């Protein structure tokens, strides 16, 4: 009975993760893996996620290319 409960939670969390932003999705999928482990189910291999793009350190050049204001 407890195994079914955790498997159900893992399924619900994965469903929510499908509509979440990348950061939240990663956290939710980690939570689902923990629920799978508690439910006695082997960890599923999920498709690899694309890494997040690196943050910019400088603004894009298009900001500087327009006419300037003094």
Query: Is 3 in contact with 36 (CB distance < 8 Å)?
Result: no
Q: What is the pLDDT of residue 67?
A: 65
Q: What is the pLDDT of residue 65?
A: 61
Q: What are phi and psi of 40, to 5 degrees?
A: 80, 10
* Alpha carbon distance 21, 27 (integer Å): 10
Q: Which residues of the chain have a pLDDT value below 70?
A: 41-49, 58-70
Domain locations in the chain as residue ranges: 1-43
Q: What is the pLDDT of residue 69?
A: 59
Q: What is the pLDDT of residue 24?
A: 94
């Amino acid at each position: 009975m407890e195994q079914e409960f955790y498997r159900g939670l893992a399924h619900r969390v994965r469903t929510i993760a499908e509509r979440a932003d990348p950061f939240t999705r990663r956290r939710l999928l980690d939570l689902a893996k923990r629920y799978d482990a508690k439910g006695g189910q082997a960890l599923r291999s999920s498709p690899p996620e694309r890494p997040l793009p690196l943050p910019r350190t400088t603004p894009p050049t298009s900001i500087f290319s327009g006419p300037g204001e003094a």
